Structure 1
Amino acid sequence: MDHVIPMEEFHLGKVERKEAGESSRDNDQPVIVAGETHKLMTSTIQGSTSSKEEKFKKLKEAQAKVQLGTTPEIQEMGEPTIEGSSSSKEEKFKKLKEAQAKVQLGTTPEIQEMGEPTIEGSSSSKEEKFKKLKEAQVKVQLGTTLEIQEVLMLRDHKHYQKYCEPRVVSLGPIHHGKPKYQLTEVYKLMLADKFIGKTGRTDEELYGIIKDKIKGLRECYDEKVTQKYSDEDLAWMLFVDGCATLQFIDLVAHHENVEDFKIKNDQVAFVQQDLFLLENQLPYKLLDYLMKNIKEEENRKMEKNLWKSIQIFIDMHSMLADGTEFQNPQNAVHLLDLLWKRLLGLDGVKDESAQKKETGEKPRSPTVKRSKARTRRMINTPPNKNEENDERDLEWHSFRNVQELREVGIHLKHSKSRSLRDIEFTKKCNFYPGILWMPKIVVDDSTGPMFFNLIAYEMCPDFENDFGITSYIYFLDSLIDEQKDVIDLRNAGILHNLLGSDQEVADVFNEIGTDLVPNLDIYRDVRVQIQKYYKMQKKMKISPVIHTHFSSPWTVIAFVAAFFALGLTVVQTVYSILAYYKG
């Protein structure tokens, strides 16, 4: 039955539901709020199902919005369906059809409040607990497929929310359904419908392809983030998100006009950041399924064009030089994985762990260089005590920042390579000065979130890697303590500051460089060479004098001029003395 509630009491929270004669929250019971000038609003009770027709109707409405130029507005929405509750295929597609009707009638989508989430930690049977224990053992023995999961190791970091949570759009199941992302659901439908129209297939055909692959796609995620979704709900979510993502990337990569979708430039920038968040990733195989299932023969080239768009999009965020070769990497996990491989120069390299799994062999740990003393310890050979102490002294660097490197005559220069692994130290004339070569990077608003999520990705328990990004940020953070360090790196062409002040850049790297555990074998040779040079110059006491008195070319010119004038004075004096005695 329906209950009519005065608007004043509704807003003051004075209305309480009575247990007697009132159905539970799980029943499809609408609550009607009355008011003279207010619209009647029906709030669908959580757990209700939506038909297949309604979902596709919403998709068509999104298309109509693009054509008619209607801009979505933020309004109040009714309560959404509880995440994970099953909804019929017919009602889901019906929602898509309703979207088209709303556009034609001039109505706009509304943001609703979220229902109460399912309480975690519900009791499970004894058998289920032991089953999980056995499954964990099997995973260790067989090796697990890298899964998309929540950030774990950095979850207590004070900047976790700032760097890990999406700003405007949620993709995939982890943040799906949160109220702050409801408005962008409409834009995703618009973009998805545009993509479907280019494939030559109907929306139901393309959805059916994803539905048939849902078991494998579910396995791409950590079980706990998808367990509340039925196969149909998860398939629909991935279908819409995947189509929208490919269409958005294609638009941005080719600088097409996103204003046709009523998307502003600031929103475009935020969406690009959100596409590289670990908790916002879509399986690459999902994108691959959508790209390969193009029906019309004349549109077959679209697959190559879409991959080219992904390549351009990754390069836009990887700070690499134009024209560098980008191969279609095998065993790509998601977009963040593609970016990680690109930054470290690993794109196009077949994943060794995947090869080992195919043959049943155990994957090897990354190959690293070791010092002589460390190798002796590994094979139980008695070490030379002096040599081992020297090794330890060199591995523990005593320099703290760029300023101290400059004091001992180490210059900074940018290298031609853009791979973050390519950091070198050389000495001019094998003596002085020392030169530290580093790749160029661009620092802007996306730098912090990008590197933070790449570090979180390397920390995933099921991701076997050598912590390349973590080690790079650790090394760079060891050079940056204050604003002066950033200025020197910027003047050397290593940092291109698009963020703001130099102090802000220093703060970013100090924030994301906190609590990192790097692979010390990466850049070990560079650190050891710098430390040797540092200790040698400290003993000689020459470099500090040069740094203090000859840091500017004008001081050098002034010194040369003064020395030349002094020389002329001496020569003139000598000639005067000689002329006196001869006379």
Structure 2
Amino acid sequence: MADLTGRSMEPPAAAWPPCGFPADWSMEPLWIPGYPADSAMCFQTHVPSSSSGGQLQQVQHAAAIAPNLAIQEEEDEEDNDEEEEEAQYKMEMEIHDPIQVFTEATHEFKVDIDMRDMKIHRYPASIKRLKGSYTAPATVAIGPYHHGKDRLKPAEKVKHVAANHCIMESGRSVQEMYAAVASVAGEARGLYDKDMVAGIGDDDFLPMMFYDACFLVQYMLTCTSGGSEMDPSLRSYFDGNDSDIFHDIMLLENQLPWLVVKTVMEFRPVPLEEFITYLKDGLQDRKLTEKKSPILDDSYEPPHLLGLLRFYIVGRGNTKRNLLPQTESMSFSVSAIELAEIGITLTANKTSELIKMGVKNKRVLFAEISLSPLSLDHARASWLVNMAAFEVCTTPNFQAVDDEESVVSSYLLLFAMLVDREEDVHELRRKRLLQGGGGLTNKEALDFFTSLQGLPLGSSYIRIMEEIENYRVKRRTQTKLHAFVYKNLRIIVTVFSAVGVLAGIFGSLMSLRRRS
């Protein structure tokens, strides 16, 4: 296997055994599943002879090679001198040939850009203004970015247990499974930020990939029927920490390349349709009694678990922007009060797919903005933020791509546009756009949405702004009439009430006059 630069990506010779044993030792189990790769719980299977004859042969062998040691040392010194001269020559070439340095840097930059969709990204600046609870893991580190932090170390022991059960349930050997992960680890390393993995050697990186993938696969199984026969103690841990684990594995910086997860799944399969179905309606408290499993798109290769779930939660559809009449100007923001004034109401649709958003005309004087409803708590808020961060990192120009590429950002910005006060949040609850009573308070929801105003404008958001402006222009007279009625409704009601009272009084007087 080779990377984009043509370099070999075969696992290093030290990839197995992970305990530092010589490569020519027996391939019998050298590592006890469920324990760290550098643990002392290793054992050798090649046992030297304990007889005196065997010891004598070893002594004789040592004596036989002694005369050659001096010659070998001289050859080693010559080799070292040649290596130093070569390194010095390369350094001088770099100093005297800057074009080569620039060319290499340009090539490396292009490779990074070309692999942008598959990278494990760091948080963009527009997201970093949020609280740490939306961006940092609280229970488990997946991948190298948060690996080794003290608060996350207790979960490392659970990873060993998960690896042990994953191996046993697969019915395959630990060597075969570990070697498979090691074979893709070189490619996986290239998907992380180079500065973050520069100081991590293969002796640490390969076991990290293996343990983290086993942990994720075992957790995914708990969300499906495949986890029904899981070890009770491990299942108890996953169930007891479900919300925290789910929060952590949905963080942008806490991802594992999907090719590593997929490699372990080849040994311990996970019913992905069932797993995605379980999580697809996770943004809403209201669940359908009969869930329809999504049809997996074989053409889509996810970069990681967050990208996989985002793909199916966003949904696909015919979202090509309609050509609307040109207007003199257009506002990229409108308040809920302004919408109400011109006769546009807010409506919660019946789908869980975020892409189903837009403006629909209803009768002559009215229209509605339809959005997928949201049950907002800390976990779902974090989930949405990290999917939006993923969009920002992988889509440099939201207006140059289809709506699907920036749907989450558009969805969040529409909510942010509609709220300026806690009363606006309450109005969204009244309209059933925000659902549930056990999530964020009105103040917390307001703080969350207003903190997202640094997100770039998604194409769905811009399309809806265009549709609002087009509605306003095409129905200028009607919208002005509706705005007048909306602003003066109380006065109009009062006047009509007064007119009704006067009419009643006048009618009574006329009746009395006729009788007289």
With normalisation by structure 2, the TM-score equals 0.70
Task: Report the CA distance between 1:274 and its aligned residue.
Answer: 0.8
- Alignment partner of 2:355 out of 417, 421, 431: 421
Could you tell me which amino acid in structure 2 is paired with residue 410 of structure 1? I
> Does 2:310 align with 1:327?
no
Paired position in structure 2 for 1:80: none
Quote the Cα distance in structure 2 between the aligned partners of 1:567 and 1:288. Answer: 79
CA contact (8 A) 1:425 1:435 kept: yes
The 3 A distance-change label for structure 1 pair 93 and 525 is: same
Paired position in structure 2 for 1:354: none
Paired position in structure 2 for 1:56: 31
CA contact (8 A) 2:184 2:259 kept: no
The 3 A distance-change label for structure 1 pair 318 and 131 is: farther
CA contact (8 A) 1:242 1:286 kept: yes
The 3 A distance-change label for structure 1 pair 408 and 292 is: same
The 3 A distance-change label for structure 1 pair 54 and 449 is: farther
> Does 2:38 align with 1:92?
yes
Could you tell me which amino acid in structure 1 is paired with residue 485 of structure 2? I
Quote the Cα distance in structure 2 between the aligned partners of 1:212 and 1:193. Answer: 20
Q: What are the Cα deviations for residues 334-385 of structure 1, in whole angstroms up to 9, with x where unaligned?
A: 11112222232139x9xxxxxxxxxxxxxxxx96555554xxxxxxxxxxxx
CA contact (8 A) 1:443 1:499 kept: yes
- Alignment partner of 1:171 out of 142, 149, 152: 142
Task: Report the CA distance between 1:403 and its aligned residue.
Answer: 3.5
Paired position in structure 2 for 1:406: 340
Paired position in structure 1 for 2:383: 450
Q: Secondary structure at the match of 2:282?
A: helix
Paired position in structure 2 for 1:291: 265
The 3 A distance-change label for structure 1 pair 471 and 500 is: closer
Could you tell me which amino acid in structure 2 is paired with residue 430 of structure 1? V
The 3 A distance-change label for structure 1 pair 398 and 571 is: farther
Quote the Cα distance in structure 1 between the aligned partners of 2:134 and 2:278. Answer: 20
Q: What are the Cα deviations for residues 524-549 of structure 1, in whole angstroms up to 9, with x where unaligned?
A: 44332464468853465112223x47
- Alignment partner of 1:522 out of 443, 455, 463: 463
The 3 A distance-change label for structure 1 pair 531 and 336 is: farther
With normalisation by structure 1, the TM-score equals 0.63
Quote the Cα distance in structure 2 between the aligned partners of 1:505 and 1:189. Answer: 38
Paired position in structure 1 for 2:440: 500
Quote the Cα distance in structure 1 between the aligned partners of 2:491 and 2:158. Answer: 61
Could you tell me which amino acid in structure 1 is paired with residue 132 of structure 2? Q
Q: Secondary structure at the match of 1:441?
A: coil
The 3 A distance-change label for structure 1 pair 230 and 290 is: same
The 3 A distance-change label for structure 1 pair 306 and 230 is: farther
- Determine what percentage of the aligned residue pairs are the same residue: 18
Stretches of structure 1 that go unaligned for 5 or more consecutive residues are: 1-48, 63-90, 98-123, 295-302, 350-365, 374-390, 551-555
Could you tell me which amino acid in structure 2 is paired with residue 340 of structure 1? R
> Does 2:161 align with 1:190?
yes
Q: What are the Cα deviations for residues 219-250 of structure 1, in whole angstroms up to 9, with x where unaligned?
A: 43344433333445322211111111111122
CA contact (8 A) 1:246 1:287 kept: yes
Quote the Cα distance in structure 1 between the aligned partners of 2:110 and 2:480. Answer: 56
CA contact (8 A) 1:51 1:94 kept: no
Q: Secondary structure at the match of 2:368?
A: strand
CA contact (8 A) 2:332 2:465 kept: no
Quote the Cα distance in structure 2 between the aligned partners of 1:208 and 1:463. Answer: 37
Quote the Cα distance in structure 1 between the aligned partners of 2:471 and 2:182. Answer: 56
CA contact (8 A) 1:422 1:439 kept: yes
Task: Report the CA distance between 1:430 and its aligned residue.
Answer: 1.4
Quote the Cα distance in structure 1 between the aligned partners of 2:103 and 2:196. Answer: 19
Paired position in structure 2 for 1:135: 107
Q: Secondary structure at the match of 1:214?
A: helix
The 3 A distance-change label for structure 1 pair 219 and 317 is: farther
Could you tell me which amino acid in structure 1 is paired with residue 340 of structure 2? R
> Does 2:331 align with 1:396?
yes
Task: Report the CA distance between 1:199 and its aligned residue.
Answer: 1.2
Paired position in structure 1 for 2:253: 279
> Does 2:511 align with 1:575?
yes
The 3 A distance-change label for structure 1 pair 207 and 309 is: farther
Paired position in structure 2 for 1:470: 409
The 3 A distance-change label for structure 1 pair 429 and 463 is: closer
Quote the Cα distance in structure 2 between the aligned partners of 1:152 and 1:279. Answer: 7
Q: Secondary structure at the match of 2:152?
A: helix
Between the two structures, name the one with larger relative contact order (CA 8 Å, sep ≥ 6): 2
Paired position in structure 1 for 2:484: 541
Could you tell me which amino acid in structure 2 is paired with residue 435 of structure 1? E
> Does 2:445 align with 1:509?
no
CA contact (8 A) 2:273 2:295 kept: no
CA contact (8 A) 2:376 2:440 kept: no
Quote the Cα distance in structure 2 between the aligned partners of 1:251 and 1:549. Answer: 60
**Structure 2 counterparts to residues 14-413 of structure 1, below 5 A:** 50-51=19-20, 56-57=31-32, 59-60=33-34, 92=38, 94-95=40-41, 127=94, 129-130=101-102, 132-136=104-108, 138-139=110-111, 143-144=114-115, 146-154=117-125, 157-159=128-130, 161-253=132-224, 260-261=233-234, 263=237, 267-293=241-267, 303=269, 305-319=270-284, 322=288, 323-329=291-297, 330-346=300-316, 368-369=321-322, 371=324, 373=326, 391-393=327-329, 395-396=330-331, 399=334, 401-413=335-347
The 3 A distance-change label for structure 1 pair 490 and 224 is: same
Could you tell me which amino acid in structure 2 is paired with residue 218 of structure 1? R
CA contact (8 A) 2:119 2:192 kept: yes
Task: Report the CA distance between 1:414 and its aligned residue.
Answer: 1.1
The 3 A distance-change label for structure 1 pair 455 and 196 is: same
Alignment length, in residue pairs? 423
Task: Report the CA distance between 1:50 and its aligned residue.
Answer: 4.4
Task: Report the CA distance between 1:283 and its aligned residue.
Answer: 1.6
Quote the Cα distance in structure 1 between the aligned partners of 2:510 and 2:102. Answer: 101
Q: Secondary structure at the match of 1:278?
A: coil
Which one is further off, 272-281 or 333-342? 333-342
Quote the Cα distance in structure 2 between the aligned partners of 1:535 and 1:490. Answer: 31
- Alignment partner of 2:373 out of 411, 427, 440: 440
Task: Report the CA distance between 1:561 and its aligned residue.
Answer: 9.1
Task: Report the CA distance between 1:95 and its aligned residue.
Answer: 4.6
Q: What are the Cα deviations for residues 288-323 of structure 1, in whole angstroms up to 9, with x where unaligned?
A: 2222235xxxxxxxx3x5313431343153549643
Q: Secondary structure at the match of 1:509?
A: helix
Q: What are the Cα deviations for residues 489-529 of structure 1, in whole angstroms up to 9, with x where unaligned?
A: 11111111432321211111112333544445432443324
Quote the Cα distance in structure 2 between the aligned partners of 1:484 and 1:452. Answer: 23
